[in-house]
Copies of this chain bind each other. A is one copy, B any other.
Amino acid sequence: MADCEEVQVEVEEPATKKARVQADIKECGENLHTVLKDFSEFQQTRILSDSSQRKTICIEGSFNNREGKAIVLLEKKPFNEEILKNTLNSNCVLQKEFSNDIYGFYEFFPSVKYSGIKTTVIYPATEKHIRKYQSQDIHLIEETPELYESVTLPHLQKEKFSLQWVTNILEHKSETDRVVFEDPSPEIGFILLPDLKWDGKQIEDLYLVAIVHQRGIKSLRDLNSCHLPLLKNIKGKGIKAIEEKYGIPCSQLRIYIHYQPSFYHLHVHFTYLKYDAPGIHAEKSHILSSVIDNIDLMPDYYQKATLPFVVKETENLFLEYERRGIVRKL
């Protein structure tokens, strides 16, 4: 679905939470999840998003006699050895659609117990939840240096995104047990830790992030020849730490920087090359070796280049560009 980096961890004050839970119970009789047994009381309102490739769907609806909205997320499960062993046999129906030469096209019906669908029910769902799961129109903007200075940069300065959580990591106040490697140098150092999307177990979806110690580098746009030692240090030591800990050689790593990033403190992504990680498309990701090479070729490359980036129609940055007639809603 969407790039999960955009999912902010929402922290609710304990007192607020207690009050809300009590209100919920008063309002709904009891927590939905203690009584939900099937979907007989669910009324579908609309499809928020779906992916035929990933076999997921996200539905907005409500439950009879319960106020407010609910979201149901369904995702087909991947195949595994156990399912194959128990379904590729005589107990399951195979229905031919057509065949052509050596190719036969069928529909295959495993028994109910092997057809489970991963299901998440969110209730009560806020408007924020709904926006998060709703499919949105996106646009590609070709950001010239002039547009960066006149539109993107003033927008960033106005929005004043909080970087407190980054500071907490860099100052060892949180996530200390998740740190895979640290180079403490204030100039060229960084902290390498698993991305929130990765459980740190199987290398098939390996995803780590290096967050630089140096403050004030907002994004790719700020990088110049002063930063070459920093970038080369991240590349070299990041590769070494991952090879040592996970046994993956550098030729099987994708190392890159997002533009626009999800937070404006320089960080570098490391993913397993075979992993189709979110946000690795050419219009968003810049391979670190090319970033280093570009600055080697032209020290002010990132101050001179036109950089494409993707923006959702609901983002404030889109509205800034729309107001100037550079992009338009459909």
Contact = CB atoms under 8 A, between A and B. Distances in A.
Interface of A: 17, 21, 31-34, 36-40, 42, 44, 50-57, 59, 72, 74, 76-79, 84, 87-96, 99, 101-113, 115-125, 137-142, 204, 249, 251-254, 256, 273-274, 276, 280-287, 289-290, 293-294, 297-298, 301, 304-308, 310, 327-328, 330
A184 to B, nearest CB: 28
B38 A89 contact: yes
Nearest to A99: B33
A91 B40 CA distance: 8
Given A94-B38, A276-B53, A297-B305, A116 B120 contact: no
Contact of A290 (B122, B249, B305, B328): B305
Copies per complex of this chain:
2
B120 A36 contact: no
Nearest to A72: B88
Candidate in A33, A89, A280 with the most chain B CB atoms within 10 angstroms: A33
A253 B140 contact: yes
Contact of A138 (B120, B122, B252, B306): B252
18 contacts: A36-B94, A36-B106, A37-B94, A39-B90, A53-B78, A55-B76, A59-B88, A102-B125, A103-B122, A106-B120, A109-B113, A110-B115, A115-B115, A139-B251, A140-B252, A249-B328, A251-B328, A293-B305
Contacts of A40: 89-90
